[in-house]
Amino acid sequence: MLSESRKTPEDVQQLDPKAITLFYKALKDGKEKVNNIRLMVVGMYGVGKTSLMNNLIWEFRNKTHAKQPLSTEGIDIHRCKLMTDGDWCLDKDLKGVKYEGRIQKLVCNNQMSTDTHSATEYNDETANSHVTLYEKITSTKDHETQTQSEPLQTFKERLALEKDDEILQHGIKFAKKMLETNSDNSEKGKALLDESKSEITVSVWDFAGQTLYYSTHQFFLNKRSIYVVVMDMTKSLEDVVSKWDGIGIRCGLVDECTYLDIFKFWLNSIHMNSDYQAGKRTIKPTIILVGTRKDKMKGSAEEIEKNMNLYFDDALCSFDDNSPIFEHIYSNRFLVNNLSPNDPAFGELQKEIISLAAKQDYWDEEYPVRWIHMEQTFDKMRAQKLQIVKMKDVEEENLKKVHPLGKEELTLFLELQHKQGNIIFFNSGKLKDFVVLAPQWIIEAFKCFIPHNQKIKATVLKDWEEYKKHAILKPNVLSEVMKNSPPYIHEYEDAVIRYMEYLNVIAQPLPNADAINGIPNQHERVRDETSGLYDYNPKMLNCHIVPCLLSRAPPPIDSFTSPDKPRTPVLAFVFCGKFMPPSFFHRLVAVCIRAWPISQERDQYCLFNGLAIFDLNSIYTLRIWYMDYIIYARIVCCSENAKLDNFVWRIQEVRHTLKNSLQDFVHQSSPAFEENIQCPDMKVSLHNKGLFRVKQFDYETEMSCPVCSIPHTVKRSDAMKHWFNEMLDQNETDMEIN
């Protein structure tokens, strides 16, 4: 049995001391164990993820299977409840039952705790204990003072103010029913408790398999999830994935992308977002491997099962021998026929998912009972088809309660709901003015920026073509995009832009001359929810760039970095595990677009698929590019007379910007990448060649270069004098002291 301290949610432990204190005070008024499962169904498009999901949910399973379900676009989320027979049904028909059941459980547990009292004491004390419990559910009084009990009738009259709240009224009836159950009739009480047994809900997330959406899927993967990775058993691991309008290229899954590449992408992404490097907990299995198209496989049942296991064995063997990814993989695998809803494999899969979730650290975490009503409020809003609401509307609904949450506690509730993936809430800048009730709204907003068969006015066609070709989103194009979007998107246009900027999906470019000279004009504007940098480009005012849509093939990097001009060594961010989501580079480009003007050549922005160039001032430019799991950066000067040593302060500033941004993307407590310097003597920068770990220079003053044709050593001073000048100075100081 876990200790009480272990029951405190890990998400709470990561909060600031004031928020932790507030949580514990709320917990004193009553607590409940929360068992919510986030099931993420991921894999390539067309492998049968949606069909698999349909067979896991009772309502969908019992519909006709005559038509093949359409491929998911973005993310579909279905909230389900675990039924008494272990099956899953949609939660939308059980919302009242859900909250009634949770309150019934609390009342039942409260009664069970009084069973040691005598029969003569039972009725009076139980009445008071039930009343106290309901006060704790709704009270926001000072947590340091004890809530005094009051007669049930008085409390009932007070709660009658919420006469339209069927759940509260049902709770009162249930409490009265419990009063009728005396200590000699404990079996009846136990039966009632069994009826209101622990609430288990399952949120099934069906992720789109189209690679374009991978740019946003990263925002939803976290350590609080169980994953089902789906593969089509009729596709060879070496089969090349067909392209859909070049979307693979835009997301970094370039030519010759195979099904094995997709498989490794998802496992690496899950691993990166699991916070595995924190060192605070052991990795527990969270990934279930599922093969589909069982009906298309040949051979006996034993042969088919054997082939499925060999398929996944081969896929897993593509990872390094000591890869921690293996620790995420659950031992049991499943092979299903999605055309056979009665296949017992679906029921077995459901049980394994529940079993895996019950072994996770977050299972049975305790949260304040008093928050139930805000959860109920959000469900009522969702039932009204609301996907995003303004914060003021949430506050108004809160104030309608008999005892509303205080402002700070409401913010705490929202932040923890965000961490659990139930809502999206950023308590920063103007984004704190909105609460996204349906996380898939973010995907829906992103989809609006993907060029497809929109109806565009003739007056905008030229700019629309420019957007499709160069990913430049001008105000008139944005207006058309919003106009053609669903009401729940275009009615919140300002929120859409702010969220996309905050998540670095889109970015506004800085100008050239004004930014270089540092002279803002009348268009100056500060973005408090992003980087806080100035935007004062008259020509590009309100225009945006969408980096993940950049499709122009980049020229050879050396065409931009002449060895005859002053230039820094190449700085490389090498990601651990030999994996980096391509979206990291796209987001880094967005950060750079806001930080520095985009370089231009022949009146065109130097923005390409996988490479971008920015003007640091009138003669210095920054190039960033990536290949596989490495992001590179180099600063080049176009003046032969300039000295890089005079620009060291700015070079280090650039490095800090790049490094800090990448660390923000990762959301890990330990480094997910290492900084390297490429041999300064290399005339041509080669991918993953001649790289020296910067940390190694803490112990070595020089190291031999294994790449250059002429044997030589790379000295610490030559490697670090530009990008790491402050660290070099510190090392030299330490050596002098020693």
Q: Is the pLDDT of residue 192 over 50?
A: no
* Structural domain range at position 238: 43-92+203-358
User: Range with the lowest mean pLDDT among 76-90, 241-255, 320-334, 409-423?
Assistant: 241-255
Token pair in block for residue 606? 């130097």
Q: What global pTM score does this model have? A: 0.81
Q: How many CB atoms within 10 Å of residue 23?
A: 21
**CA–CA dist 660, 657 (Å, integer):** 5
Domain count of the fold of the chain: 2
Q: How many CB atoms within 10 Å of residue 434?
A: 21
Q: Single out the residue in 358, 385, 411 at which a domain terminates.
A: 358
User: In this structure, is residue 374 part of a structural domain?
Assistant: no
Query: Nearest 5°: CA angle at 419, between 418 and 421?
Result: 65
User: In this structure, is residue 163 part of a structural domain?
Assistant: no
Token pair in block for residue 588? 């880094």
pLDDT digits (tens, 9 = 90+) for 174-188: 555 555 554 444 554
Question: What angle, 0 to 180 degrees and rounded to 10, lies between the N-to-C axes of helices 186-195 and 166-179?
Answer: 160
| Secondary structure element (H or E) that encloses residue 635, with its range | strand 630-637
Q: Is the pLDDT of residue 173 over 90?
A: no
Q: Is the pLDDT of residue 248 over 50?
A: no
User: In this structure, is residue 219 part of a structural domain?
Assistant: yes
The closest alpha carbon to 511, from 499, 503, 519, 502, belongs to: 519
Question: What angle, 0 to 180 degrees and rounded to 10, lies between the N-to-C axes of helices 259-272 and 301-316?
Answer: 60
Average pLDDT of the chain, as a whole number? 80
* DSSP single-letter state for residue 329: B
Q: Single out the residue in 358, 373, 397 at which a domain terminates.
A: 358
pLDDT given at position 339:
93
Q: Single out the residue in 358, 380, 414 at which a domain terminates.
A: 358
User: In this structure, is residue 587 part of a structural domain?
Assistant: yes
Higher local confidence (pLDDT), 94 or 109: 109
User: In this structure, is residue 650 part of a structural domain?
Assistant: yes
Question: What pairs with residue 89 in β-bridges?
Answer: 81
**CA–CA dist 503, 416 (Å, integer):** 19
Confidence of residue 126 (pLDDT cuts 50, 70, 90): very low
Query: Beta strand 334-335 with 287-292: parallel, antiparallel or unpaired?
Result: parallel
User: In this structure, is residue 228 part of a structural domain?
Assistant: yes
User: Range with the lowest mean pLDDT among 154-158, 259-263, 412-416?
Assistant: 154-158
pLDDT digits (tens, 9 = 90+) for 533-591: 333 334 455 789 999 889 888 888 777 666 778 999 999 999 988 899 888 999 999 99
Confidence of residue 412 (pLDDT cuts 50, 70, 90): very high
What is the pLDDT averaged over residues 482-489?
Answer: 91
User: In this structure, is residue 237 part of a structural domain?
Assistant: yes
Q: Is the pLDDT of residue 728 over 70?
A: yes
Q: Name all contacts of 637-641 with Cβ < 8 Å and 24+ positions apart.
A: 637/565, 637/566, 637/567, 638/565, 639/565, 639/566, 640/564, 640/565, 640/566
User: In this structure, is residue 26 part of a structural domain?
Assistant: no
pLDDT given at position 226:
97
Q: Is the pLDDT of residue 151 over 50?
A: no
**CA–CA dist 478, 476 (Å, integer):** 5
Question: What angle, 0 to 180 degrees and rounded to 10, lies between the N-to-C axes of helices 407-419 and 17-28?
Answer: 100
Contact yes or no for 8/362 (Cβ under 8 A): no
Confidence of residue 137 (pLDDT cuts 50, 70, 90): very low
pLDDT digits (tens, 9 = 90+) for 490-519: 999 999 999 999 988 899 887 654 443 332
Extract the runs of DSSP E, i.e. beta strands, from 1-146: 31-43, 75-82, 88-90
Give the CATH number for residue 285.
3.40.50.300
Give the CATH number for residue 598.
3.30.310.50
